[in-house]
Chains A and B, each alone.
Chain A
Amino acid sequence: EAGVTQFPSHSVIEKGQTVTLRCDPISGHDNLYWYRRVMGKEIKFLLHFVKESKQDESGMPNNRFLAERTGGTYSTLKVQPAELEDSGVYFCASSPPVGSGRVGSYEQYFGPGTRLTVT
């Protein structure tokens, strides 16, 4: 089966512009997560969707970040307006439904990440 995919792989934008990152989870995975790694620091949780609902958005840094998952399939993360400190690698991950009993039910499968540079 195809893994988690993210688009674009790289994005360079100027401060004040808007950027939208996309994540396509593994088919059938109800759980979708966004994480971010700012240079030199740890990978930090941003939010968690269960299907189209936000289960936990405690890691979202501020209201310049908007995550959506319409229809419970792919997700987008919009940054508007972007600031210099938003630069980093944004990872998406997905995992199977709760209680599915599927192999790897407690494992999050990560995408390759989107490297965002704000200049």
Chain B
Amino acid sequence: AQSVTQLGSHVSVSEGALVLLRCNYSSSVPPYLFWYVQYPNQGLQLLLKYTTGATLVKGINGFEAEFKKSETSFHLTKPSAHMSDAAEYFCAVSGSWGYQKVTFGTGTKLQVIP
């Protein structure tokens, strides 16, 4: 069984400030971890993913996340927020035996204040 917990349904940051979105997961098997973003009136877009190898993964638009097995965490960060980052972000997990269903967190809406 797998589950994802995202801390904070709404996060506000000032433009130029650090973005930190928290995600903790639970998985009975080695996980694949994902961050998806949904911009208003658009579908889900993959930001980044961890499968194997390097635990610090870089994604699109300057985002990165670090897989910490000991903490069962996969927090998303971006050094400097931009207005265009305002969106809803979803952390997700799947089993590492490919093509399994993805389990999502409840999402975090990011507001960027000018």
Contact = CB atoms under 8 A, between A and B. Distances in A.
A35 to B, nearest CB: 8
Output the residue of B36, B90, B101, B107 with the most chain A CB within 10 A.
B101
Output the residue of A44, A106, A109, A112 with the most chain B CB within 10 A.
A106
Nearest to B90: A43
A43 B34 CA distance: 14
A1 interface: no
Contacts of B51: 106
9 contacts: A40-B106, A48-B101, A50-B99, A59-B101, A106-B98, A106-B99, A110-B43, A110-B45, A112-B43
Contact of A112 (B34, B42, B107): B42
B105 A42 contact: yes
Interface in B27-72: 32, 34, 36, 42-46, 49, 51
Contact of B99 (A35, A42, A98, A110): A98
Nearest to B3: A42
A113 interface: yes
Given A42-B107, A43-B44, 19 more contacts: A33-B101, A35-B102, A41-B106, A42-B4, A45-B102, A45-B103, A59-B101, A91-B44, A93-B44, A105-B98, A106-B94, A106-B98, A106-B99, A108-B102, A110-B43, A110-B44, A112-B42, A112-B43, A113-B43
Contacts of A33: 101-102
A93 B46 CA distance: 12
Contact of A107 (B4, B42, B46): B46
A43 B104 contact: yes
A110 B101 contact: no
A107 B99 contact: no
A75 interface: no
Nearest to B98: A106
Contact of A110 (B4, B36, B98): B36
A42 B106 contact: yes
A33 B104 CA distance: 14
A98 B104 contact: no
